[in-house]
Chains A and B, each alone.
Chain A
Amino acid sequence: MITLTINGLRVEVEQGTTVLEAARFLGFPIPTLCHMEGLSPYGACRLCVVEIGEGPKAKLVSSCTYPAEEGLRVRTASARVLRARKMVLELLLASCPQSKVIQDLASAHQVRQQRFRQEHEDCILCGLCVRMCEEQMMAKAIGFRGRGSTRSLGTPFDIKSEVCRLCGGCIYVCPACQLRCTYTEPDKAICGGCANLSPPCVEKERFDDMMCYMNPCVACEIVKD
């Protein structure tokens, strides 16, 4: 067992527990975006930052990937953490302002302005769909391609995947595109789903600009082509 201190409270956790799990066990809220129970931690969004260490050695780490260490002192809501978190949210909001998930997070964390140019990306590279597809659906139909500013997500060669199970798992977990799939279920739709996106995915022509990797689409029963 490992003993660590979170916001002044001592807690004992098992070896291999992450700081995020330990903090949540104590009831300290830490917002997350790319973290999901049942999927391996990935550390892409940096929203879960916490401060560890003391004095000049104090640093920010992503709690979802940081393993609990003996004697570790963690602060989950110091001024520095809150500032960093707000900045992360502001940047996420700039790259994907149409995402309801990000909008809600930003609003809950008092982000009242957005000073960066809006990019309207259809993907924030959080990797949730890749892990969902690989770890829960055992399909490995989609993955990252390229790197740096041209990194993108999709099927190999941008053609219909032979191994996709048409489960819809990737769309379900995606913070950037999940709205689209509520389109045909008006009672569940938050804002009209994909019909509100411009252009709506039903009107998109090419498979590779849809963030939907299912072909044919089974969730919405809209026949493409």
Chain B
Amino acid sequence: MKKEEVLSIIDKHRDQGDGLISVLEEIQTKYSYLPAEALKLVAERTGRSAVDVYSVATFYRSFSLKPRGKHLCLVCQGTACHVRGAPQVEKEFARQLQVQPGETTPDREFTLETVNCLGACALGPVVVMDGHYFSNVRTSRVKSILDKTRAGLDDAELKADLRDFVLTVSCPRCNHSLMDPHHPIDGSPSIKVTVATEGEHGWLRLSALYGSFTVESEFGIRTDAVVDFFCPHCHAVLKGASLCPLPQCRAPMVSMIVRAGGVVQICSRRGCKGHMLDLNGSGV
């Protein structure tokens, strides 16, 4: 840890008027954990007491005070995942990595952690490797998931993106189909969602053809505007955990469940072509 780096992070967020959590998040992204000296610097520089900074850092599960490995493996242990066999999946990860949840492998490659719910219950058991979701995970898939992660998930994702086919998607919260057979786009049923941006609110239809960016919407959306997507049935926000992979964009991704298994994520910025597909079993 370098003192200047931490100080510049703190100052940057102070200038932007951000709170404590943004500062801690960026420090954690940089060092993969929150070093004690960094927390002390944050307290000193922002005029907070060490107790307050430490309370916040220990309150949130996503912050870690211990160094984490290169890859973070999160196994969901929420109720839905639990009844579908998440404990066995967790044990299998622990066995293959030879660590207990909360620990990091001695070679600092993997950190195994459990979470209590990822909000993707219909996909359970869910495992998240470095922000990439794996659904319906069985113990037999654990090895290939680890191998794929070692090889680098981002490369695998790019290769998968070259395919061209039609998706059938549903809402990750209510699992209601988002397909609209009455208004086809590109010759197949479109995906219908509700969107809101810049004070306007209405429907949006997307092409279900993977790789096609044809959309129709109730109102005009300015190019580059970041749009909030909602499920038209349960009104849940369709927001994924990750940000757009394109470095110049970094808008939040919108995630939907693919009927055949897996998740598709598209960028919420109008005109941005960032998208990720993580099909159950494909390439794994």
Contacts and interface: CB of A to CB of B under 8 A. Distances in A.
Interface of A: 140-147, 155-157, 163
A192 B58 CA distance: 36
Contacts of A156: 39, 50-51, 53-54
5 contacts: A145-B55, A156-B51, A156-B53, A157-B54, A163-B50
A155 B50 CA distance: 9
Interface of B: 36, 39, 49-55, 58-59
Contacts of B36: 157
Ranked 6 nearest A-B pairs via Cβ: A143-B51, A156-B54, A140-B49, A156-B50, A145-B58, A146-B58
Nearest to B39: A156
Contacts of B54: 143, 145, 156-157
Most buried by A among B52, B53, B55: B55
A157 B51 CA distance: 9
Contacts of B58: 145-147
B59 A155 contact: no
Contacts of B39: 156
Chain B, interface SS category = helix
Nearest to B52: A143
B43 to A, nearest CB: 8
A142 B36 CA distance: 16
Nearest to B36: A157
A141 B59 contact: no
Nearest to B60: A147
Contacts of B53: 156
B35 to A, nearest CB: 11
B52 A140 contact: yes
B59 A146 contact: yes
Contacts of A142: 51
B49 to A, nearest CB: 4
Nearest to A143: B51
A85 to B, nearest CB: 30
B36 to A, nearest CB: 6
Contacts of B50: 140, 156, 163
B52 to A, nearest CB: 7
Most buried by A among B39, B58, B59: B58
Given A142-B51, A143-B55, 18 more contacts: A140-B49, A141-B51, A143-B49, A143-B54, A144-B55, A145-B58, A146-B58, A146-B59, A147-B58, A147-B59, A155-B51, A156-B50, A156-B51, A156-B53, A157-B36, A157-B54, A163-B49, A163-B50
